[in-house]
Every structure is written in structure tokens, then in C-alpha cells.
Amino acid sequence: MTAEFWIIQTFNGLSYGALLFLLASGLSLIFGVMRIVNLAHGSYFMLGGYVGLSVVWRTGSFTAALVAGAVAIALIGIGMERLFLRRLSGQTLGQVLMTIGFALMFQDLALLIWGGDPYTIPLPAALQGIVTAGALRFPTYRIFIIVVATLVGAALWIVLDRTRVGAMIRAAVDDREMAQGVGIHVPVVSLGVFALGAALAALGGVIGGGFLGVYPGADFEVLPYAFVVVIVGGLGSLPGAMVGSLLVGLLDNFGKALFPELSYFTLFAPMALILALRPTGLFGRA
Amino acid sequence: AVPPTAHAQGGPIKIGLLAPLTGAASALGKDMLNGTELYLDGIGFQAAGRKVELIVEDTEGNTATALTKARKLVEQDKVHVLTGGLLASTGYALHPLAEAQRIPTTYPVMSSDDLTQRKPAKWVVRTGWNSSQSMHVFGEWVAKTLKYKRIVTIGLDYAFGWESVGGFQRTFEDNGGQVIQKIWTPLNTNDFAPFVTQIKREADAVFAVFFGRAALQFVKQYETAGLKGRVPLLGNGTTTDESVLPQMGDEALGIMTALHYSAALDNPANQKFAKAFEAKAGKIPSYYAETCYTNARWIVEAVKAIGGRVEDREALLAALRRVELRDFPRGPVSIDRWGNPVQNIYVRRVDKVGGKLQNSVIATFPAVSQFWKYDPDEYLKQPLYTRDHPPCPHC
Amino acid sequence: MLELSDLHTYYGESHVLQGLTLSVRPGEIVTILGRNGMGKTTLMRSIIGFTPPRRGRVCFKGDDVTRWPPFRMVEHGMALVPQGRRVFASLTVRENLEVARQSRTGQWTLPRVLELFPRLGDRATNRANKLSGGEQQMLAIGRALMSDPDLLLMDEPTEGLAPLLVREVGRVIAGLKREGLSILLVEQNLPLALSVADRVHILSRGQIVHSSGPAELMANETVKARYLGVA
Amino acid sequence: MDQTRVMRASVVEEASPGPATGYALELRSVSKAFGGLRAVDDVALAVRAGERRALIGPNGAGKTTLFNVISGELPASSGTIMLFGRDVTRAAVHRRAALGLARTFQITNVFPSLTVLENCLLAVQALSPVKLAMHRPLGRYADLHAHARTTLEAVGLGGRAGAIVQHLSHGEQRQLEIALALAGRPRVLLLDEPTAGLSPAESQLMAGLIKRLDPAMTVLMIEHDMDIALEIVQHVTVLHYGRVIADGTREAVKANPLVREIYLGA
Amino acid sequence: MSSGLAAPAPTLDRKVVAGFAALTLAGVLAPALPAYPLTLLTQAAIVAVLAMSLDILLGYTGLPSLGHAAYFGIAAYTVAILATERQMGLAGCLVAALLLATATAALFGVLAIRATGTYFLMITLALGMVVWGLAFRWVSMTKGDNGIAGVPRPGLGLGWSLAEPLPFFYFALLAAALAWAAMGVLVRSPFGLGLKGIRESESRMRALGYNVWLHKYLAFVISGFFAGFAGVLWAYYNGFVGPADVQLVTSVETLLMAALGGPGTLAGSALGAVAIVFLKNFVSVYTKRWLLILGAVYIGVILWAPRGVLGAFTREPRGAR
Ligand SMILES: Nc1ncnc2c1ncn2[C@@H]1O[C@H](COP(=O)(O)OP(=O)(O)OP(=O)(O)O)[C@@H](O)[C@H]1O
Ligand SMILES: Nc1ncnc2c1ncn2[C@@H]1O[C@H](COP(=O)(O)OP(=O)(O)OP(=O)(O)O)[C@@H](O)[C@H]1O
Ligand SMILES: [Mg+2]
Ligand SMILES: [Mg+2]
């Protein structure tokens, strides 16, 4: 194993982890803040990719695709929260089931609208190149993903941890009724959180569509990854989601590179182990 | 155990088709269905003076569901012929059902070698292909014509990948080549970077086995990693099958593969078929479409041969095994003793013609059997190709 | 300030408030007494909007607010100290107070609340679920004050407080009254309840069964024995 | 209703009488720190069997924390806890309960979606091996039901046996809280503000109930209502900032100027 | 509400009566049914056992497991391997399969029990995925992706064969009824009440003197045992066992069944199982858009009855206290 191997594989893992962070941070937000186990989160990722794809086909603009994907899926999230999930507030299991129902419907709708063929989202020329450093070659696009994830992570951290809005969100989680009783517009807060979480997943979907592609089944393929990240890091903890996504990205990458025959275990066995030792994840609180 | 009765003679001839219409493989299921319907449409759903009825069931790409649906087709709909299926496991699972129910069954898609080699079923006829069939041809051709000496193989880590790589490696090495690295990618991979970056740079070429979205992702990431211009890419037929080719970009140009079909095949039957298929489905036919079209015709030819008396199952089965035609879109086909087609294998290269990618045929090998040039009995004494067989002495 | 007329409130099929009429005038403290399970908390929940009444009207500052969501009530000048404290467990003490702030210009500010309850100042960065029961009670009162209410609903604010603090809360309540706040107080501590109240109502099985001034009630042994069970 | 019968101490797991100490509950320099905060600081406490003792102190003094340490909910940071002469400092919560220790919670901790009767049955079967029986419906255990109902009658919830607990008012839930602790016929009972949230009438009932408990039962109670507390106990321990600042008969403690200043406030 | 001191007479509650009626009805109607509905009914009976076994954890103990396919699948694989390669009979297969499934649950329980809520969901998911990986990867034992086909139906030595749909249906129905009865007694037993207590408040249970860990662990293992029992039936029913039987989707579907019918009611779980089996297999016969319909039905049912179909007719929900 040369140094080159370790550097390149670490880079691969980091960039994959960065993509996972985009996906998982939204899940963690919805999950931690609203106690909703959103099994439709993978669908947001997939639908975001599809919307982005359609926009690129029409306009040729990758930026437009990012924006449109995020906005469109945020609207879907708003609709789901406003019209359906809100009625079940506090009923964890009912909400889980409902999001499964949505996930199934989204899966079928995507099939109906975009057909079952796999696609990749064409990238703008600026993101297509390769950055070389000596013998090492880093695809520009993967660097781009790392940059985006870092920016998103920083912005989220500032809002949630440093502002009154963040505290209001958490208050709404702790005691929804009483939060209203101190004047917090809980319905608006929930809606905002849900929209943001959905938009983040969609952003991940468009960006992921550039190198993982957009295809039916992507929804349920990425979902376990997102959950592993969030759980390993600890529910609703933003630092947890960051560490979790990096850990999972690296673990998955090195697992596949070094022990491909164990790849069905390299993700889940460590997760089971972590949870067995720390039943609330690395950063989670009971 | 239903004897033919006058009463049954009156009803339609029922064909039960299992296809994945929902789930990740639904695009393939759609092609299967369109291909089948296209042929039956062409004959006005009439054969040997009887109406033909097609009953389609969704397998979700899941073998347990496929089994349940197969039971439904056989037990409730009382179909005369059972056909379809996508996954190898579905093939193995349907074998005992077909044998127990004594129901004539055809496999247009499922390609696992042993279905017609070490574990054939009396009641099952394969109208498609098997995984290593075209790869035997391709391995020899690559060694002899391209004269590559060292090759890295990379493929999906399950039976289809093993059998395709195995077939290629066997004839490639029999003809003087060396496989210097075998990389297996788990089925749940969508980021191929960890694998692509490991490919040994001293290779003359890379041989890849993928299908569906994995093919798309792999070819794309092969380019992104900067390998495309430097190490030529070869593959099995599904890697550039028309089910994914139109969604690929220039990164696919130049990839060479082998299969028993190409949508660009230049024969009248295929020209007619491809045109009709495009009119019906709005896209060029994949091998899934062709094989199901051919499969439908195959069944109808057998029905005709027995004068429409499909209630006589033994006769129908015998007829299915006797079909031998020269004008399928894929070319002439006959069937061997184990129930597998003997057919042309085409070596193809991805070219851009009229702004669109296509699999241009650059070499044709006629009447290739699943045992290639090997003696069937000797061949069958060897174990099935797996992850570790044939071994890799040069890795 | 607050007018309730003929409130009927249900939990599912159980009819808890059965036609309740009552009013709180500006600057007045009205106390509700009653044994356990008589509907005092339900009354509070009906007013703030947690459990809107099925029939009847709630008027607040002249507006019919019967089916307003709770957060609008709060914006309109109502605040609740709920039974059982219900502080936000995962927020720090400071955040608990901050989230309840309605505007930056009000009279009640973080420093003022911490001055009122110095104990909270000591634990300002602790998470609220780590506070002792009494500390949580102080936090709940402070939190309600942070919204600068005109009307304060207090549901057993002294439950779990040490005698010293009970007296302290009594003083706070009296002080708030002096500032012109109106208060609807549910209380089990009879001496406290009577010492601050302008008027007293006794609730029994969802209905008001006795209304009077505190002194009269003190003197009325039959009512006390019958509805409060005190000799 | 024969309440004394119900409350007769009968402990499943007989503890060997401690070596010579004779105390039911004994704490030796027990401390509990949360980060930098010493919520319980070097507390020594010895309660004789059958004693009734109150634990008082300002809010946040560490009373509940001390209960949590005694019952095992929280591990002690240092010190030793003896139950009937047996060192239980490291024992799990349920082991201590098996030795006859029962408690109530300051913040009501019951089983909200079960009925009142089911709540009580859970407490009744807790210390008998029956709790692991899987082969017979609970309905067949008539003795458990009888005992559960008697306990409910005793705390004044007899008429509400079939109600679902989350439909009870706060005060009724407080009564149930006590019933759960009593149902297991404990030998040492820790009561965390048993009358908080009760109306004066219910408080009086509760006080009466506690007074009538089996005299052999050791009772340690946290109570802010001094009238009630002093009516029940002979002995008072005062906690302040985690430390014991006074310990003695009720009269002595009541007269203690420091206690008056920091706690009673008059 | 009787307020006497005596224990209530052990009356059969309505759900039990309804359940017996449904079983009897199914048994009586079976011979008149066409082959395919009978097949589905058989499948439903088997899956119902699986859903009920999950409900012991989900509904009664409050532990939502997402790895139930593991015990189900391990038992199914055991039967498939022993029956095809060793030609082992029913008794041997049953014992071996139950032992293995229970042992797996006993092992996984040690790892999983400390986690609660969503974390429990995820650790069981992870453990389930490990089993799935094994099914996929341990090719020499499991035949990998191809699965094990051709599992013969057991002979009972009673003269008639279970190969025909009708006898096998009765066999499955009887087995399911037995499992249901056993689980029914369990959840009504003192132990079962303990599980409900844990669902509501672990800290209170501990303070009362329960060894909460042990209680949960036993529930976990017992649940695994019954899931294994369903797996045995499944292997014989389907004649084929593959990785799909242990995959996440199977676990998710099981959870849906238990939850849709009403967690905390065994009969509800069974109902959920029957409903989903029929919904999936019938709707898909008539339309390709069945996923859309299935999703809409889930959403509709939950809107109408958030606590599940049977839950809607029983008690109040557990509050969010
Ligand atoms: N969520 C609920 N669902 C059904 N019934 C309820 C609910 N909450 C309270 N009740 C019932 O309503 C009645 C009144 O309850 P409420 O809480 O208003 O009493 P309270 O006077 O505040 O008593 P306390 O002094 O004990 O707090 C009680 O009988 C109670 O059992
Ligand atoms: N888990 C914890 N983590 C950190 N601090 C805690 C924790 N539990 C309690 N505390 C702190 O320890 C101190 C003692 O708390 P405790 O609950 O024992 O007080 P108390 O004497 O019972 O008061 P009250 O009479 O108000 O119930 C308080 O300052 C509280 O904030
Ligand atoms: Mg109240
Ligand atoms: Mg306390």
C-alpha cells in the first residue's frame, strides 16, 4: 500500500462522506428537531436528482438545477408536513408509517414521470476537470462536493447553536404544546425545519446525480446510509452528523478498497458495535 | 395433470409473463413487456386459429414475489406457457415449480449458466442466452485479434459477474493472455472510486461486467478518474446494452463488448424489429426487448407446430425444444440438448453514428454453443465459474 | 381583562368544565380553589387554548379569542405558568427564558428575572432538566414573565417549593399585582392563596360552587369543609 | 378496609440483619457530583428501623439527588450506602428494591396508558417470582388482584381502578405514585414530596395514611409542607448545598436559627 | 367496572373471540376457495405469525425492531439447507431452525437491548443487515444470490402429503393458531404486564424491583423464537429461500404489518399481515400503479386510525409524556 493509495482513498472517502453529510444533515435535523423518523428522506434525495435532471435538460444550467431541486423538494416537504404529518404530531410510529407510505408513492410517481432508466446529471465544464498534485489526481467535482458540504455544515451550526431560532426549534421539540404556550409559532417552526431538511436532501440529490446518477431505487439505497450516519453520530446532533458522515464515508471507502468481500459488513457491523457500546451514538444524549 | 379436453380447446392460449414492472429494474421489465407485446400485436394475438392471451405479473424484481405470482399464473389463470423472469435466483426457484406443475416454461432473460448446464430442468427451455456464452468468444477474440496480454477484470460480485468474467478469463488465458487483477464490486456500490483507483496501471485493458445504473456509474467514473484515454475499456454485453447506452455520454466511445445481439445489427429482421420497437416504445431496443420479442415468436412457432393444441403439455414442450429459425432479429437460432440456444455472437464497439451512440458490430461468430469449442461432457465436469474459479495465477 | 362565559370543555367524551362563567378585572388577582381533579387545570388549558372549549366564549381585552391558537394568546398578552412546570428540558436555563421573550423593549428582561430568582442565575447555562424541582418552578414563572404579559395564568406555582420560596412567590405575586398585572391563580396553599387574592372561586366538578372575597371564605367553615375538605 | 394488613412488612428477600449497626439505612460520607457541582456533599445519615424521618432543605439542596443515590438511580461518586447492614453502594436499582427499598418520584412516574389497577398490579407482582410467569393469564392470579385493590383503596383510588392513568388529574396521579411504592410492602420507604400537588384535603388523607403505615416500616420523606412533615416525623435532617447542616428532633430543628433563615424564612 | 376484591373472572375478550371466529371461518371456507386465494391465505397466516412476534417487542415492550427478518430468515435458511442437502424431516428441521433463530436472537439481544427508541430501531437494522450480508456472502452455505430452491414440503407420515395447497393451508393455519395462542397467553401473563410497564416507564419499573434488562432480553429472545417459527413455515410454503427473505424490506414490511393493525394488539398485527399480503398481491394484479395505491392506503389508514386499525377500537394512545 503506497502513500498514494492512502491519500487518494482518504480523499475518496472524504468526498463521499461530504455527500452523505448533505443527505444526513437534513435527516438529522428533521429527526432531532421534530422527532420524525422520516423514511421518505431518501425519496427527497432521489426526487431532487430527478428535478435537477429535468432542469438541466431544459436550461443546461447546473446552478439552476441545484436551486430548482432544492426549492421543489422543499415544497414537497412543506406539503407533507403541513397536510399530513402535523396531524400526527407526537405519534412517532404513525409518522414513520406515513413517511413509508409517501416513500412508496414517490417511488412510483418518479417511475411514472421519469421512467425507469438510469441517468447522470451532466456537469458544467468548470467542474469536470482533474486537479493534479504530483502523481495524484483529484477530480474537481469531488473537491466541489467537499466545499459545498463544509459551507452547509458551518451555516447550519451557526443557526442552530448560536441563535434564538435554534432554541425555539428545540423548545418546540421538547414540548410542543408548551412552546406554543410561550408564544412560539410552532407550526411555522416545524414547517421551516421540514422544508430545510428536505431541501438539503434534494441538494444532495442533485449533486450526487452528477456522479452517482439518478435512478429508480436510489431512494432506498441511500436511506440506510443516511440513517447510519445520523445514528452513529447521535440523533439530532449536528457535530454528530458531521463526524458520522466522515466516518461512514471513510469506513465505506476503505472497507470496499481493502476488504471488498466484507463490504456488506463493513458498514453495518461497526455501526452495530458502536451502538452496542454507546447506545445513543457517539454524540447523542439519552 | 390435466388431460386435453374439448372444452379447454375452445378458450384462448394463455401466456403468463413475469416481469419486474416496479422497483429498481422496472425499465428492463418495461422492455421485456414491450418486446413481447410487439410480437403478439404483430400477429393480432392469434396463433394456430386460437386467440392468444398475455397475462402479465409484476415481480418487483424479487424472487419470492415472482414465485407467488408464478403460482397465481399457473394455479389461478391456468396459463399454458410460463415465461419471463429477471434474476438468476428466480430461474432456480422456478425450476422446481415448472417440474412439479409440468408447465412448459421459457427463460428469455435469466442467464445463469447452470440453469441449462449442471441443473437443467426438463420443462424449461431457455430462449435467451447464458452469461459465459458470449464471453468465451470475446476472450479468445481479445487475445487473438487485439493481442492484449495483460488484463484487469472488474465486475459485479455475484453469479452473473463471476460467470461473465470466468468465461472471458478462461478463453483469454487459453489463448495466451493473462488476467493480472480481478476486482469484484459489491452490488451495493454506487461510488466506484475506491475500486477504479486500484486498477493496476500496467494493464493493456480493463474488462468490465456491469449492467443498468452500475454500468452507467462505472463508465462515467472510469472517465472521471482519468483512466479513459489511458487504458482501453472492454466489457460484457450488458455494460453497453441499449438499456443504458443512450444515457451515456462520450465516455462510452470505443468500449468493446460481445453479445448475441446489437440494436445496430444489419439484417432485415432486426431492421424491421428495431423500427417497430422504436415506434412503440420511443427508444431503441435493448437486448431485453429483443430477447422477449424473439421469445414470444418462439412460443408462437411452437404453438403453431402443434396445431394450437397447447393443452398437450408434453407436445408443447417438445415443440418448444424443436424450434429452429433463421430469421430472428438476433440471427439464426437453434437449441441444444440442455435447452440453451446456439446462436451468433457479435463483437461490438461503441461508436457515434448520426450523433447517437450505438453498438457497431465489428465481428460475427456464427452458431456459438454454450460450451464454445469445448466438449460438453468435459466442460460439465468443471465446476461452475465463481469468484475463485477459474483461479488467477497471474494476479 | 378576561371574561369567560358558559365554558364547556371535554376530553373526548368526558365533560370536565360544565358551564363555567368567570371574569378577571384589570389589576385583579382571582384565585381558584378546589380539590384534586375538579377541573382547575382544565380551566387554564381552555383559556390559553391548549384544550379549546367545545361551547362558550373566552374574551380577552375585549376580543373574542375563543379558538385562537395559544401562541396568538401569548402575543396578545397572556402567559401561563403550567402545572408540573413543563420547562424545555433540552434548553439551558437562559435559553428557556430567551425563547419566551416577545419583544426587546418589554419591562421584563433576562437580568430582571435573574434578579428575582438569583438561584436561576447560578444555573443559567445548565440544561433545564438538570434543575431541581423547585428551580424548575422558578424557571417556569420567570419564563412566563419574559413575555411581558398583562394577564398571568398560574397553575399551582408553589407546588414543590420550600416554605421560604413559597413566601417569596407570594411576594412576587403581590409585586406583579402592584405593577398592574392581572392574575388568575390556581393554588392549593390556602394561606398564600387567600393572602394575595382579591376574589376567590371554588371549583367543584367543573362548576363554580362558591364565590366570595378571601375574608368571607376564611370565615365560612361550611364551604371550606364541604369543598376544600379543611376543617 | 383493613389497611394495616396491607401494609404489613413482608419482604421477599430477607436481608440478613446487618453486622451490629442495627440501622435500616445508613449512609457514610456519600457524595454525588455533577461535573463541578457537588449536589450531595459528604452526607452521613443513619436511620433506624421503624424510624420516621424528614429530609428538608431549600430547593436545589440535593434532596432528590440523595434519594436517587440511595435508590441506585444515580451512582454515588463516593461513600458507602448500607441497607440493613448490607453494602448496596454498587447494587443495581432492582436489587435494592428486592431488599425492601421503595420510593416515590418527585416528578410523577407512573405507567400512563395502563389502567390504575394494572399500574398497581405491576407493583404488587414486582417482588415475587410470579413476575416472570408467562404461561398463565394474569387474571388467574386472584391474590395479586386482591392485594392491588386493597392498596388502591388505602390511598383513596379505590373507585378509579379501571381508569386509564393519563386521564387522571395531577393530584390523582400523585396518589397513584404513592400506591405504587406501598404495594410492594417495603421495609424502607422513600417519599419525595408525597403531598405536593395535593389539595389540603387530600394532603390530610395522605398524612393520615403515612401515619398509619406499619410501625416497623422505615420512612424517609422529603416534604416542604412543614405542618404535615412535623406531624408525621420525630426526626428531621436538613440539607443545604448538599451538606447536612442540622440533624435532630423536630423541635430542635425547628428552633435552629440557621434553618429558620435559609429554609423556613421566618 | 367491578370493584370487588376478587380478581375479574378470566373472561375471553372480544378480540380473542373475533380471532377464533376468523380462524374457524378461514378453515371452513378454505376448500371452496380457488387455488390462488388459498395460497395467499396460507402466506398471510405465516406472515401473521411473524408480525405478531414483532408485536411482542414493538407493541408490548415498546422496542421497534427493524431486524426481524434476521430470525425469520435464519430459520428459513436452516430448513432449506437441511431439507435439501440432508433430506431432514419436519421435526429435525423445526428443532434446528428454532434453535438457531433463538440463539441468534439471544446473541443479538445482548448487543441491542441497551439501546432504546430509534437507536434500537437502528441497531436491530444493522444486525439484520449483517445477517443479510451473510446470506449473500456465505455462498458455500447459502448459495448467495441464487438462493436455495426446491425445498420439499414435509411429509407428516399421516398418509396425505402437504404438497397440495389445501392440506398445507390447514397445516399452516394450525401452526399459526398455536403460535397465536401461545403469544396471547404470554402478553396477558404477569410477564406480559411487565413488558407493558417497561414500555411506559423503565425507571419506575426498576424502582419497583424489576430487572428491566432481563425482562426486555427475554422478550427479545421469545420474539426471535416466534419469528423463527414463522421462518420454518415460510421455507416450506415457498420452497425457496433467498437473501430477499432476510433483507431490510422484509423487516420493514413486518413492522408495517404490526403497526398498521395496531401495535399492542396481537390480533391487529395478524390483521395487518393479512391485509398487506392481500393488498400487495391483489392490487398488483389489476394495476401497475399498485405501489402508489399501497402508499396511499398506508397514509389513509394512518390518518384515519393513527394507532392502527385495531388500535382505533381500543384504548387511548400512549401519551407523549
Ligand atoms: N387528558 C385527559 N383526558 C381525559 N380526562 C382528563 C384529562 N386530563 C384531565 N382529565 C380529567 O379531567 C378532570 C379534571 O382534571 P384537571 O386536571 O383539570 O383537575 P385539577 O382540578 O387541575 O386537579 P389537580 O388539583 O389534581 O391538578 C379529572 O377528573 C381528570 O381525570
Ligand atoms: N442530572 C443532573 N445533572 C446536573 N445537575 C443536576 C442533576 N440533577 C440535579 N442537579 C442539580 O443538583 C442540585 C440538587 O438537585 P435536587 O433535585 O437534588 O434538589 P432538591 O433538593 O430535590 O430540590 P427541590 O426541593 O427543588 O426538589 C440542583 O442544583 C440541580 O440543578
Ligand atoms: Mg391541576
Ligand atoms: Mg427534589
In single-letter form, the type of residue at position A42 comes to G
CA–CA distance, E99 with E112 (Å, rounded to integer): 19
Neighbours of chain E (3+ CB pairs under 8 A): A, B, D
Higher pLDDT, B229 or E72: E72
In this predicted structure, what is the pLDDT of residue E3? 37
pLDDT of residue A36: 84
User: Tens of pLDDT along E122-138?
Assistant: 889 888 988 988 888 88
**Grid cell locating B190:** 454506487
∠ CA D70-D71-D75, nearest 5°, is 70
Domain count, chain A: 1
Q: Tell me, using a 6 A CB cutoff, whether residue D259 lines ligand 1.
A: no
Number of neighbours of residue E31 by Cβ within 10 angstroms? 10
The pLDDT assigned to E309 comes to 64
* Of residues E19 and B113, more confidently modeled: B113
Question: Residue A99 falls within a domain, yes or no?
Answer: yes
Spans of all domains in chain C: 1-77+182-231
Contacts of D107 in chain C (CB under 8 A): 84, 133
What does the mean pLDDT of chain B come to?
90
Q: Which residues contact B200 (CB under 8 A, 6 or more apart)?
A: B152, B180, B181
Bridge partner list, E240? E149
Q: Is C40 on the interface with A (CB under 8 A)?
A: no
- Tell me: the pLDDT tens digits for D151-201? 998 888 888 888 999 888 888 888 899 899 999 889 999 999 888 888 888
Expressed in angstroms, the distance from the first to the final Cα of chain B is 54
Residue A83 lies in a domain: yes
Q: Measured between beta carbons, which residues in chain D are less than 8 angstroms from residue E9?
A: 139
**Sequence ranges of the domains in chain D:** 2-264
Second-level CATH architecture of C1-77+182-231: 3-Layer(aba) Sandwich (3.40)
As given in the structure block, the three cell numbers for residue D161 are: 381502578
Tell me, yes or no, whether A79 lies in a domain: yes
Q: According to the model, what pLDDT value does residue D7 have?
A: 38
Question: Rounded to whole angstroms, how far apart are CA atoms A270 and A263?
Answer: 11
Q: How far apart are CA B153 and CA C53, in angstroms?
A: 73
d(CA A56, CA E16): 59
A60-64, A131-135, B126-130, B208-212: segment of lowest average pLDDT: A131-135
B149 neighbors B176 (Cβ within 8 angstroms): yes
Statement: residue B394 has pLDDT above 70: yes
| Antiparallel, parallel or unpaired: β B50-58 and C63-64 | unpaired
Nearest residue (by CA) to ligand 1, atom 8, is D167
Q: Which CATH superfamily includes the segment(s) D2-264?
A: P-loop containing nucleotide triphosphate hydrolases (3.40.50.300)
Contacts of E206 in chain D (CB under 8 A): 72-73, 92-94, 97
The residue assigned the cell 405593577 is C179
Q: What percent of chain B has pLDDT over 70?
A: 97
In this structure, of A218-232, B122-136, E214-228, the range with the lowest mean pLDDT score is: A218-232
E41: left (phi over 0), alpha (psi -120 to 50) or beta: alpha
Largest CA distance in chain B: 70
Length of chain E: 321
**Ligand 3: distance of its center to the CA of C80 in Å?**
13
CA distance E48 to D199: 50
Per-residue confidence (pLDDT) for residue A65, from 0 to 100 = 94
Residue with cell 428469455: B108
**CA angle in degrees (0–180, nearest 5) for B336-B341-B343:** 115
Is residue A244's pLDDT more than 60? Answer: yes
Mean pLDDT of B169-190: 91
Q: What is the percentage of chain B residues whose pLDDT exceeds 90? A: 64
Closest approach of E255 to chain A, Cα-based (Å) = 9
pLDDT below 70 — which residues of chain D?
1-21, 266
Count other C-beta atoms under 10 Å from residue A237's C-beta: 20
Bridging pattern class, strands B50-58 and B13-19: parallel
User: What beta strand segments (E) does chain B contain?
Assistant: 13-19, 46-47, 50-58, 81-84, 105-107, 124-126, 150-156, 178-185, 205-209, 233-236, 256-259, 325-328, 331-335, 341-353, 356-368
Chain A positions in Cβ-Cβ contact with residue C102 (cut-off 8 Å): 183
At A52 the pLDDT is 95
Position with higher pLDDT, E242 vs E317: E242
The packing angle between helices C93-100 and A164-174, to 10°, is 100
Domain around A174: 16-216
Task: Check whether E107 has a pLDDT greater than 90.
Answer: yes
Q: Which domains does chain E have, with CATH numbers?
A: 2-312 (1.10.3470)
Q: Which among C26, C22, C29, C20 has a CA at the least distance from the CA of C1?
A: C26
- Any atom of ligand 1 within 6 Å of the Cβ of C224: no
Of the candidates D58, D89, D52, the one whose C-alpha atom is nearest the C-alpha of residue D74 is D89
pLDDT at E311: 58
Residue A274 placed within a domain: no
Q: Please tell me the least confidently modeled range out of A139-148, B331-340, D122-131, E11-20.
A: E11-20
Cell numbers at C136, concatenated: 424548575
Phi-psi region of B389 (alpha: psi -120 to 50; beta: other; left: phi over 0): beta
The pLDDT of residue A1 is 61
The pairing of strands E148-149 and E240-241 is antiparallel
Asked if B72 and E285 touch (Cβ cutoff 8 Å), the reply is: yes
Residue range A100-110: mean pLDDT, rounded = 92
- Residue A35 has φ and ψ, to the nearest 5°, of 55, 30
Which residues of chain C carry a pLDDT beneath 70?
104, 231
What average pLDDT does the segment B333-352 reach?
92
What's the residue count for chain C? Answer: 231
Residue at A110: amino acid letter:
A
- Cα E40 to Cα E274: distance, rounded to the nearest angstrom: 9
d(CA E162, CA E153): 6
* Enclosing H/E stretch for D185: none
pLDDT higher than threshold 70 for residue E307: no
Closest residue of E to B119, CA-based? E149
The verdict on a CB contact (< 8 Å) between A284 and E116 is no
The average confidence (pLDDT) of chain A is 88
Q: What is the pLDDT of residues C113-168, one digit of tens each?
A: 998 888 889 888 888 988 888 889 889 999 999 999 999 999 999 888 888 888 88
In a domain, A27, yes or no: yes
Query: Across-strand partners of B150?
Result: B178
Burial classification of residue E278, based on how many CB atoms lie within 10 Å of its CB (0-12 exposed, 13-18 middle, 19 or more buried)? middle
Pocket of ligand 2 (CB under 6 A): C 123, 130-135, 160; D 34, 37, 39, 57, 59-65, 106
In a domain, A54, yes or no: yes
Return the closest-CA partner of residue B205 out of B222, B185, B184.
B222
| pLDDT confidence of residue E310 | 60
Query: What is the residue-averaged pLDDT of chain E?
Result: 84
Distance CA B217, CA B189 (A): 10
Residue type, B125: V
Q: Report how far residue E307's alpha carbon sits from residue E261's, in angstroms, rounded to the nearest whole number.
A: 8
Residue B309, burial from CB neighbour count under 10 angstroms (0-12, 13-18, 19+)? middle
Cα separation of D79 and D97, whole Å? 20
**Segment B331-356 mean pLDDT:** 92
C-alpha to C-alpha distance for E192 and E176, rounded to whole angstroms: 20
Note the pLDDT tens digit of each residue in E261-279.
Answer: 878 888 888 888 998 888 8
Cβ <8 Å between A217 and B24: yes
Question: Do the Cβ atoms of E119 and A231 come closer than 8 Å?
Answer: yes
CA distance E136 to chain A (A): 8
Choose from A132-146, B6-20, B132-146 the range with maximum mean pLDDT. B132-146
CA of B62 to the centre of ligand 1 (A): 53
* C and B adjacent (3 or more CB pairs under 8 angstroms): no
Distant-in-sequence, close-in-space partners of C59: CB < 8 Å, separation ≥ 6: C2, C3, C4, C5, C65
Q: To test the ligand 1 pocket, which listed residue (C32, C42, C44, C189) has its Cβ within 8 A of the most ligand atoms? A: C42
Residue A250 domain-assigned? no
Note whether residue A258 is domain-resident.
no
**CA E34 distance to own-chain centroid:** 26
* Residue D107 DSSP one-character state: S
Cell numbers placing D72: 441506585
Residue D215: other Cβ atoms inside 10 A: 12
Task: Indicate whether E305 pLDDT > 80.
Answer: no
DSSP SS3 for D37: strand
Is residue B390 reached through a cis peptide bond, with omega within 30 degrees of 0 on the bond before it? yes
pLDDT digits (tens, 9 = 90+) for A120-150: 999 888 888 888 887 788 889 999 999 999 9
- Give the SS3 label for residue A59: helix
Inter-chain CB proximity E189 and D162 less than 8 Å: no
Q: Give the CA diameter of chain E.
A: 64
Is residue E7 predicted with pLDDT exceeding 90?
no
Residues of E in contact with D164 (CB under 8 A): 315-316
What pLDDT is attached to residue D21?
58
Residue with the smallest CA separation from ligand 2 atom 5 is C130
Selected residue of B34, B181, B188, B284 to mutate for chain A interface (largest A Cβ count, 10 A): B188
Separation of CA D69 and ligand 2 centre (Å): 12
